[in-house]
Structure 1
Amino acid sequence: MNLDKYKVFENIQLKDLPTKVLLKSTKKEIEKIRKKLSELQDAMYAEGKYSVLICLQGMDTSGKDSLIREVFKDINASGVVVHSFKVPTELELKHDFLWRHYIALPAKGKMGIFNRSHYENVLVTRVNPSYILSENIPSIKSVDDVTDAFFHDRMNRINDFEYHLAKNGTIILKFFLNISKDEQKARLLRRLELPHKNWKFSKGDLKERKLWDKYQFCYQDLLQKTSKENAPWFVIPADDKESARIIVAKILLKELEKYNFSEPQLPPEIHAHIDEYKDELNNE
């Protein structure tokens, strides 16, 4: 599989990218990848030099939750932390727009997953610019001040933020789950038709669906302006959930294997006395 074709290298056109691929994948294949990811996280934790930040973005129903469940289920529970960012709280609005994301970053040795991320600040707020007013930014007096230039400046600050993180040992991988409008309709209907899925449905889903074209424009713009070598975006065809999970898992494995994580060696003064320590324990 050519995984590089999913990476955003240049100015992309979302309308030209596929939303569906069908891979001849097997349950054993993803199980094998999950085991390797678990081993990589163990080695990364022992080494203590790097952390991993995985950002997941996508329209409603694109499969973010189930992807997290299926791809990361074999990683040590203490080694992976998931944050799902909702509407900012009163406290969060009293800080700059990156604050709540900064304090949720993974520590060295751990994987952090942002289910929706700091990119909501140049996405949902751009589609609904009135939301910016609640941040009480001194230079913003009205919605008329919330311009394209405002959001492009935010994207530059996000690039600076991610550059700083990368320089300090955070491996950043960002995935946009690219679902078609028809598939979203089918999944929303499924939520309404299946009683055990009803709880997932929100009336707001239909409101946001009407803004589909605006969201696509904003996604395309942010993908073009914020995919960097130290924090790349990958556009994943998401109409088929199993194929999307395999692609994401393979990209994670490929990217993380580049770092050759390794457990530290025992200090010489301890290694020289291993046999003595074993004898002491065996002779208790």
Structure 2
Amino acid sequence: MSRTVYLNGEYMPEGEAKVSIFDRGFLMADGVYEVTSVLDGKLIDFEGHAVRLERSLKELDMASPISMDDLLEVHRELVRLNDINEGMIYLQITRGAPDDRDFVFPDPAKVPSTIVLFTQNKPGLADNPVVKKGIKVISIPDERWGRRDIKTVQLLYPSMGKMMAKAAGADDAWLVEDGKVTEGTSNNAYIVKGGKIITRELSNDILHGITRKAVLRFAKEAQMVVEERSFSIEEAQGADEAFITSASTFVMPVVEIDGAKLGDGTPGPVAARLREIYLEESRKAAV
């Protein structure tokens, strides 16, 4: 069955949605995006995603084509129209489509931004069976641009990283710069040692994850010790456990890094407890 999508103020069948070949998102990767989870037909962490979207737009000097209140209603309407109980809503805003290709930004008064939203139906998102066995990651050099704190659509290298992991028989890749892990290809990275949760501090080097923010808050409320600092692959391989967080995986255990098993090679208790807390509390606050 065809999905209903949202394009520039209109709901329409996905097959009818068209974007200009001159759109700067297509030609220049000049756009930002957000992905919001849906559980029980409600939006998880919508406000956090909306705030980060505004920040990304501001950092790129890009105009928003929609108010945050209206954006919430569009999300809710897409959930309703597509009957999504568990899944994702993808949002993308680009600088729009000028009359021709040019490196210089078009005048926003003359060229409106392009906004696209669509849903992805993912039954079993909360009860993902992979959680019970955990995932394997490899390490690769971090060769992305320097403003990783802006959630842009420049996802070629993360896609290449996931393909490198697949070729190596792993599930994902952790990116390494100057000997330290920055983050995963599409997630934030963590290790646990002696009961302490360790994850890289916020900066331009990593995405300021919305799930990361919530998980760390829940961890502190549960009296867990959190240390925000960089760590190496070698330190990670010697950790008691590891995990990643993102809007699509919530909290996902990591059981192997570059072929080295963590502990007995099974998911650890800290990641399991954090996932349980995150899902419970996020469902309570869902809109």
Shared fold per TM-score greater than 0.5: no
Structure number with larger C-alpha Rg: 1
Q: How high is the TM-score relative to the length of structure 1?
A: 0.23
Bigger share in helix:
1
- Which structure ranks higher in relative contact order (CA pairs < 8 Å, sequence separation ≥ 6)? 1
Bigger share in strand:
2
Q: How high is the TM-score relative to the length of structure 2?
A: 0.23
